[in-house]
Structure 1
Amino acid sequence: MQHSPLIYRKSSYSSGTGQNCVEVADLPLGEGAAVRDTQNRDLGHLEFPMPEWSALLSTVRNR
C-alpha cells in the first residue's frame, strides 16, 4: 500500500536499552499498523490489517 509519510513511535514493548527496538505507526483511516526495525529503517516496514494487529496486541497483553 502507498500512504502519506507514516509517523512512527517506539513500541512500549521494546527494551529500554536502545537495542532490539521496533517502531509502530498507525495506518490511515484506522486500517491497522505498520511495524519496522529501529536499527534497519531503510529495509521498510510490515503492515498489519486491524483485525490481525488487534489479535497480536491482545495476545501480547495477556502474557
Structure 2
Amino acid sequence: MSRLAKFRRLNQPNAQQSTDDVALQETFETALRKLLGEYNMNLGDVVSILDLSRIAKTVSTKRTVRRA
C-alpha cells in the first residue's frame, strides 16, 4: 500500500468526524438563534450576562457598599 493510500485510509474517519462536527454546529446555531429570538435577545446580550469581569466588579461594589 502506498503512503498516500495509507494516509487517505487513516484520514477517512477524521473527515467524517469533521462533517459531523459541522452539522452539529449548524444545528446548535439554529437552535440558539431561535431561542434568542423567543427572548428578544442577541449574542451581545448573552455575552454581557456571562461577562465574569463585570460580575466581579458588581460583587466588589456591593461588598464596599455594605461595609460603609
Q: TM-score, normalised by structure 2?
A: 0.26
Q: Which has the higher helix share?
A: 2
Q: Which has the higher strand share?
A: 1
User: Is the radius of gyration larger for structure 1 or structure 2?
Assistant: 2
